[in-house]
Amino acid sequence: MTEARWRTAITDHVAHEPYLRGYRLVDLIGRYSFAEVAYLTLKGELPTPAAARMMDAMFVAVVDHGVAVPSVVADRMVISGGNPLHVGVAAGVLTFGEAHGGAIETAARILQATAAQEGDVAALARTRVAQARANKERLAGFGHRYYKERDPRTARMFEIAREVNFYGRHCALAEAMAAELKAQTGRALVLNVDGAIAAIISDMGFDWRLGKGFFIIGRVVGLVAHGFEEITRERPFRRLGAQDTAYDGPPPRALPDAEV
C-alpha cells in the first residue's frame, strides 16, 4: 500500500459521518459552543470550562475595531472595486502583518522564549526591553495608535484570565515589559490586544505559531459584516478625497527630445 500523502489528525469520516478530533461532529453540534469547538480543533482536546471562557473572551475582544484599520479599509476597497464578499474578506485577512493582528505570533514567541529563562519576570523584562532598545527593535504586542494610556481590551481579558487562572508567568512578564518600556523609553507603550492574547495563549500552552490564528478567527466576523455593509450601503468605486492625497513629484516638464 502506498503511503498517504495528505495525512491529518483533525477530521475523519467514519460510516459516512464526520468526526472531529475523534468526536462525532453531529454530537458536538448544539452541545458545545463555537469557542469550545475552536479549542478542540486547534488543540486536539475539549477545553475545561475555564479554557472555554478564555477562548470566547479572546475571540470577542478582536471581533472588530472600527472602519479605519488596514484590514477593513482593504476589505471595503476591494469590494468597492466590484468584487464579491469573500474576495473583500480575503483581502482584509491579507493585511494581517506585524503591525496589525500578526503581532500576536511574534509577541508570543518573545514571551515564551523569555519566560523560559530563569529569573523573576521583572528582571527578565528589564533585560529583554534593554536588548530591544539596543537593537532598535519594535517589541511586538506593545504600543497602540489610538490607546495611549491603556488598551481596555487588554484590561478586561486579563481580568478574566485572573478569574479563570490563566494569568501566569507569561501574562506577568508582558505587564512587566510594558512597565519597563515606559521606564526605559519614557513612552507609554501599552500592552495592546495582540500582546495580551499572546501572553494568555502562552499561559494556556498554545504554540506561538498559532498566534495569528486567534486574530483571524475573531476578526473575520467583523470583516464579513464590513464587507456586507459595503455591498449593501455604498456605491461602487470609492476613491480617496483630495484632502487625503498629495503629489510631491516633479512639476510638469518637457520631454528631453522635445523641440525647443
Ligand X SMILES: CC(C)(COP(=O)(O)OP(=O)(O)OC[C@H]1O[C@@H](n2cnc3c(N)ncnc32)[C@H](O)[C@@H]1OP(=O)(O)O)[C@@H](O)C(=O)NCCC(=O)NCCS
* Residue 88 vs 143, nearer CB to ligand X: 143
At closest approach, how far in Å is the CB of 156 from ligand X? Answer: 15
At closest approach, how far in Å is the CB of 201 from ligand X? Answer: 15
Q: CB under 8 Å to 215, separation ≥6 — which residues?
A: 62, 96, 101, 102, 104, 194, 197
At closest approach, how far in Å is the CB of 191 from ligand X? Answer: 9
C-alpha cell at 100: 496589525
* Residue 47 vs 222, nearer CB to ligand X: 222
* Residue 47 vs 141, nearer CB to ligand X: 141
At closest approach, how far in Å is the CB of 177 from ligand X? Answer: 10
- For residue 144, the SS3 value is coil
Site of interaction with ligand X (CB under 6 A): 98-99, 103, 138-145, 187, 189, 192-194
* Residue 77 vs 196, nearer CB to ligand X: 196
Q: Say how far apart CA 191 and CA 59 lie, in whole Å.
A: 17
Sheet holding 11-14, edge to edge: 11-14, 17-20, 23-24
Contact 140, 194 (CB under 8 A): yes
* Residue 26 vs 67, nearer CB to ligand X: 67
Q: Say how far apart CA 199 and CA 4 lie, in whole Å.
A: 37
At closest approach, how far in Å is the CB of 146 from ligand X? Answer: 8
Q: Dmax over Cα atoms in the chain, in whole Å?
A: 84
Q: Taking CB positions, which residue lies at the least distance from ligand X?
A: 143
- For residue 11, the SS3 value is strand
